[in-house]
Amino acid sequence: MLPLVLASGSHYRRDLLSRLNLPFEHESPDIDETPLPNETAESLVRRLSEAKARTLAAKYPDHLIIGSDQAATLENKILGKPLVFERARDQLMNAQGKSVTFMTGLSLLNTRTGHCQSDCIPFTVHFRNLDEATIERYLRTEQPFDCAGSFKVEGLGITLFRSTEGEDMTSLIGLPLIRLTDMLLKEAVLLP
């Protein structure tokens, strides 16, 4: 088996990949993540997940490199990471009673062969009707300011939803493990 590299600085993605009980290295690729003019969320995350993997290819010539990127969309507009309380509050106020779709791009690059598998995995979160006090209480408790959509599904963020819809809950956190497992099996990685 070729060694694995996760092309990400995200501790959320590292924690998810650790669930597969495979040894891996990780490195954050230095790429421009700015959307192109009129680029859809799906096109953006597909492009960036592959770019992240390919950016590290020269440094890891005999590896399987995993790239992933995610964009949250509300009414066809891409939501960024809020970074601060006020933006997070605004994001959640705008999302309350509505649905937010997360598009998670995933690429697995075999740097020995040059073959790259890529996909985009959608996952939709249907928010409860929330009042400002509930949102502010949540944000003060969990402080999800580094998360697109302004919540952590692996924590108290789950209380904000009335339902979810999608094939792989881990795609919501940023690394779709079910689809990644499919890709790894195609590269003859033995799981579990």
CATH of the domain at 115: 3.90.950.10
Domain limits for position 136: 4-186
**Residue 76: band (very low, low, confident or very high) from pLDDT cuts 50, 70, 90:** confident
Q: What is the pTM of this model?
A: 0.92
Residue for token pair 């959509």: 149
Q: What is the mean pLDDT of residues 113-126?
A: 97
**CA 142 – CA 90 distance, rounded (Å):** 16
Domain membership flag for residue 192: no
Nearest CA among 85, 100, 101 for reference residue 146:
85
**CA 52 – CA 90 distance, rounded (Å):** 30
The per-residue pLDDT for 16 is: 96
Kindly state the DSSP code that residue 31 receives in the 8-state scheme.
Answer: -
Q: How many domains does the chain have?
A: 1
Domain membership flag for residue 157: yes
Domain membership flag for residue 53: yes
Token reading at 44:
């953006």
* 137-187 tens-digit pLDDT: 999 999 999 998 999 988 899 999 999 999 999 999 999 999 999 999 999
Give the residue numbers annotated as catalytic, written as ranges.
69
**CA 121 – CA 45 distance, rounded (Å):** 10
Asked if residue 1 has pLDDT above 90, the reply is: no
Q: Residue 145 CA to chain centroid, in angstroms? A: 15
Residue for token pair 């495979």: 22
The per-residue pLDDT for 42 is: 96
Domain membership flag for residue 102: yes
Domain membership flag for residue 191: no
**Residue 80: band (very low, low, confident or very high) from pLDDT cuts 50, 70, 90:** confident
